[in-house]
Amino acid sequence: MSHPFKTRVGIVGGGQLGKMLIESAQPWNVTFNILDAPGSPAERYADQFISGKLTDENAIRALAEISDVITYEIEHINVDALREIEASGKKVIPSSDILAIIQDKGLQKEFYAGNNLNTSPFIIIDDADESVLNENLKSLKGEQLVVKSRTGGYDGKGVQIMNRTDISGNSIKEMLPAVIEEFIPECLEVSVIVARNEQNEIRTFPMVEMVFDPEINLVDFLCSPANVGSEIQQQAADLATKAIKALNGIGLFAVEMFLTKSGELLINEIAPRPHNSGHHTIEACYTSQYGQLMRILLGLPLGNTELHTPAVMANIIGPADVSGDYQLNGLDTLFSTPGAQLHWYNKTETRPGRKMGHFTVLADDVETAIQNMKKIRETLRIVPVAQTGNP
């Protein structure tokens, strides 16, 4: 492409991922158009902002008309509208076919099984028929099982870990249609981000190790590099790459996996976009996940994904007792810590369990970064606006 920076990029969704994608390309002066509700974090960065629902066909068409390439930062959008745009010759990255698979956790699991991609044993339940449910449950092992809604779930929503004896047509009817998987005990949850461009270049980012908040099922913090051997890291990169090749994927993908006690890697889910498990790459890698996606959208060669400094990324989550207007207190420790960097998403309201921001801590080793992260967390608080405290 002779003038890649003249490409007009349209993003379906204007949340924090869209915001950070735009920030990554600001040195290049790329034009960005955004579709989302007013007040979205990326709105102030957009050259043109279309106010509308992410499922609105007309709004997505309007975005396509003023853009040269379309991408998205959330899965819950109108895939049929994207198919129509592709049929007209407009580029959508990743493709609508991939999004259709990712939107349905049942199709995802069947895709893994059909392409010999390691994943946990599962069954698909589409209705509340008790006899069919009980018969199918016999194929799964373990006293605990994971129930996932096939569509609509995100950030831990639509997922429940249940005792086998508590699963019935009535108890899971609000989650139907659903996938029920074997629960993997005492596993390590890891992620590998894969980038692939139209020239068939493929790069993987170093594996990260994720620690989850057990109450809200969200990433609490992650470490990079992961505390596993180089052989496992290579196996994870190979499995992630195999999955994206099987999808025929062009774009940026986060492949989340379980590492079992026996050392087996099992794919959990794939996200076809920048991901929470890659936020640290902004500071810790030569090319961030956002910079890599921009290279793909603009037709440029992929960048170096090496980790140049060990890092820990911690999410800042809306507390259970605060909703609505808010302020962030206790910033002194963060801004006094060498290697710490805050990313604040500027969401207009906080809600329990909502991702409000994150911070990354770089250090000479992961252990030091974790210690510094914990010190920062001792003071950092989201509080109601009426409450006073340290700035």
Domains of the chain: 4-92 (3.40.50.20), 121-182 (3.30.1490.20), 188-383 (3.30.470.20)
What pTM does this model have? 0.95
Distance, CA of 347 to chain centre: 18
10 Å Cβ neighbour count for 358? 24
With CA atoms as reference, report the closest residue to 215 among 172, 176, 277, 160: 160
Q: What is the mean pLDDT of the chain?
A: 95
10 Å Cβ neighbour count for 86? 16
User: What is the DSSP pairing of strand 178-182 with strand 144-149?
Assistant: antiparallel
Average pLDDT over residues 179-203: 97
Largest CA distance in the chain: 62
pLDDT at 5 over 80: yes
> CA gyration radius for the chain?
21
Q: If pLDDT is split at 50, 70 and 90, which confidence band does 215 have? A: confident
What does the chain come to in residues?
391
Q: If pLDDT is split at 50, 70 and 90, which confidence band does 45 have? A: very high
Q: How far is the C-alpha of 12 from the C-alpha of 299, rounded, in Å? A: 19
10 Å Cβ neighbour count for 169? 16
Strand partners, 281: none
Distance, CA of 257 to chain centre: 13
Q: How far is the C-alpha of 149 from the C-alpha of 27, rounded, in Å? A: 41
Q: If pLDDT is split at 50, 70 and 90, which confidence band does 287 have? A: very high
